Amino acid sequence: MRLLFHCCCAPCTAACLETLSSEGIVLRLFWYNPNIHPFTEYKSRRDALLQYTASQNMETEMSGENGGYGLRVFLRSLGGTGGGNDDAIARPARCESCYRLRLEKTAAHAAQNGFNGFSTSLLVSPYQDHEAIRRIGGEAAARYGTAFLYRDFRPRFREGQERARSLGLYMQKYCGCIFSEEERYAKHSKKQEPSP
């Protein structure tokens, strides 16, 4: 089986590859993540993935407009150039749009390039909405006439983190989008505000 494998980052990819290779699946890695902001963060994660895959003698196909950085594409996908309305930028709608954006691009690429199907490293994270990824992956496959390979990689999440750390790869501190960065750090800085 030839599988197009969407990689969200190096640590998650590292956790999945062994499982798939042990099943005899031939992988082509695919990077499409317009949800990672700002540009410096995008570059750190992209370069970490390239560093990891080079260490495994694997190539990664890069996708995305403007050299791959997709802030505008991401915001438009939420329903407007300024980030859409409040409902669209809140969870869970925002994350479902984000999964759809990335998985539809992967499904379309798999269908157009003769792959038997596609899957994603998003399925390894216990912090993502696993069932939504599974459902949206299936919907994207049906839309583009290909197959979504579902696996529950979550038991290997820690292993992927440890492998990335041992290789000295960049480890991200928030999910990816500007909203998740705010959620991560605004919460933290609130704790440090002096009491009134």
Give contact residues for ligand SF4 (rule: CB under 6 A). 35, 94-95, 98, 175-177, 179-180
Nearest-approach distance from CB 6 to ligand SF4, in angstroms: 13
Q: Which is nearer to ligand SF4, 20 or 98 (CB)?
A: 98
Q: Which is nearer to ligand SF4, 95 or 147 (CB)?
A: 95
Nearest-approach distance from CB 60 to ligand SF4, in angstroms: 19
Distances (CA, A) of 10 to 14, 53, 83, 103: 6, 8, 27, 18
Distances (CA, A) of 183 to 2, 42, 69, 125, 178: 38, 18, 21, 18, 9
Please compute Rg for the chain using Cα positions.
Answer: 17
Q: Which is nearer to ligand SF4, 94 or 109 (CB)?
A: 94
Quick one: tokens of 196? 């009134």
- Let me know: does 119 contact 13? Beta carbons within 8 Å: no
Nearest-approach distance from CB 34 to ligand SF4, in angstroms: 10
Q: Reduce the DSSP state of residue 136 to 3 states and report it.
A: helix
Nearest-approach distance from CB 54 to ligand SF4, in angstroms: 25
Q: Which is nearer to ligand SF4, 18 or 181 (CB)?
A: 181
| DSSP classification of residue 59 | -
3-state helix vs strand vs coil in the chain, percent to 5: 55, 10, 35
Provide the β-strand partners of residue 119.
5
Residue by residue, DSSP assigns 137-157 as HHHHHHHHT--B-----GGGH
Nearest-approach distance from CB 157 to ligand SF4, in angstroms: 15
Nearest-approach distance from CB 174 to ligand SF4, in angstroms: 8
Q: Which is nearer to ligand SF4, 160 or 176 (CB)?
A: 176
Q: Which is nearer to ligand SF4, 35 or 106 (CB)?
A: 35
